[in-house]
Structure 1
Amino acid sequence: MTISKVTRRRFFLTSTAAFAALAVPAFALTDAQARSLIDRAVADINKVIASGKSLNVMIRDFEKVFAKYADVNVIARSALGPDARGLSSSQTRAYTKAFQGYIARKYGKRFNEFVGGQIEVQGVRKVKSFHEVKALARLRGQSPFEVNFLVSDRSGSSKFFDMIIEGISLRLSEKSEIGAMLDKNRGDINGLIADLKKAG
């Protein structure tokens, strides 16, 4: 069975979760620190894929990986766009928590289809105000393809804020999805939060 590019992209949406924010300064972050972050994230992702656990447990494990290595607060706000500025503190907490669970369910469900896949970190370089860590995706029986993680330390610790898979930004993809959900709820944030709790 041939795995299409769309399916391969879904695998890496699964594997990382996606994650996004505007490119921001990373003055203290070094190439070595950026690579170390992604080395650890990739190792944990590969471990989840190869664990042989039930799907529900894999999804919970993936959510832990996402929370540990991705800048969840920034990603969630970026996905919501300008509407994030109008949230109350309680709405921000509820939305971020719902977004994190949604990401884990949405992408974690595809793990079983890609058991045996591996992500291998290849190198790192500084690009303007952030660091790009390049990795190679190897799926069993398929040609390898490149996945680029974008890393910053603006939040106070090194986190990845976007990933580019064959030219497609996870930040922009998820922003489109959340925007569509918000439109469906006619701009109602509480309705969006309720939908996110069930989505994925």
Structure 2
Amino acid sequence: MNNLFPSRPSDLGRRRFLTGAVSGLTLLIAMPHAAFAFSSSQAEALITKAVSDINTIINSGKSESGMFADFERVLVNYADTPNIARSVLGPSARSASAAQLSAFTSAFQGYISRKYGSRFREFIGGKIEVNKTQKINSIYEVSCTAILRGESPFAISFIVADKTGKFIDLTIEGISLLKSERAEIGAMLDKAGGSIDRLTAALK
């Protein structure tokens, strides 16, 4: 089995108050991004919502292409796609222009949605359940169980970053999306002669 995926977190996770020097100033956060650290309960709530969306998609009865588009929306909403894309691109990301990184991220997002969307389509008639969350240094691991009809349940975990409040990796039975894709994208980049533009075109 190869290598993964947060619409929006809870209102509580979206809104925080600044205290201290500027008392009374309120900051509305549309997504749980950088300035505030997450908690275990927020990480679990985020993935619970993501899993709910995924369960809805896999049992929606939509066509494959329709499901893939929905999976991409889930990815955009819940995953820190720009950081994942830079990570799988490796050292080449440092020399890429902003336009190249943007184009690669968009292409990678669609590629991942199709690849893991196909994997999740195998879950039709089943569901994913969230079990528990544990904090490990600056990340949260949200452990889930995939329950399929006629097959033994297996483990899925979402890794949520404390600083961004979005998931940065997904493991299926212990196999990391990030590590797997880093190897595969690296091989594709080699095949493209080190050209990020050609790699981006290939991902499309």
Give the TM-score taking structure 2 as reference length: 0.81
Q: State which of 116, 123, 137 in structure 1 corresponds to 2:125.
A: 116
Q: Does 1:189 align with 2:196?
A: yes
Corresponding residue for 1:137?
146
Q: Which has the larger radius of gyration?
A: 2
> Which whole-Å CA distance do the structure 2 matches of 1:80 and 1:91 have between them?
11
Q: Does 1:98 align with 2:110?
A: no
Q: Report 1 or 2 for greater relative contact order, CA contacts < 8 Å, sequence distance ≥ 6.
A: 1
Size of the alignment, in residue pairs?
177
Corresponding residue for 2:19?
none
Query: Any stretches of 5+ residues in structure 2 without a counterpart?
Result: 7-33
Q: State which of 148, 168, 172 in structure 1 corresponds to 2:157.
A: 148
Which whole-Å deviations, capped at 9, do the CAs of 1:120-173 have from their partners, x for residues lacking one? 000111111211111111111111122121111423xx1001122222111100
Q: State which of 37, 55, 68 in structure 2 corresponds to 1:28.
A: 37
Shift in Å, 1:92: 1.0
Q: In structure 1, give the amino acid aligned to 2:195.
A: D
Point out the structure with the larger helix share.
Answer: 1
Structure 1: which 4+ aligned runs deviate by more than 6 Å? Answer: none
Shift in Å, 1:27: 7.1
Q: How does 1:29-178 map to 2 (within 5 A)?
A: 29-155=38-164, 158-178=165-185
> Which whole-Å CA distance do the structure 2 matches of 1:87 and 1:73 have between them?
13
CA RMSD of aligned residues (A): 1.9
> Sequence identity, in percent?
55
Q: Classify 1:112/1:167 alpha carbon distance in 2 versus 1 (closer, same or farther; 3 Å).
A: closer
Q: In structure 2, give the amino acid aligned to 1:53.
A: K
Q: Classify 1:164/1:108 alpha carbon distance in 2 versus 1 (closer, same or farther; 3 Å).
A: closer
> Which whole-Å CA distance do the structure 1 matches of 2:145 and 2:156 have between them?
6
Q: In structure 1, give the amino acid aligned to 2:185.
A: I
**Is the 8 Å Cα contact of residues 26 and 152 (structure 1) preserved in structure 2?**
no
The alignment partner of 2:90 has SS state of helix
Give the TM-score taking structure 1 as reference length: 0.83
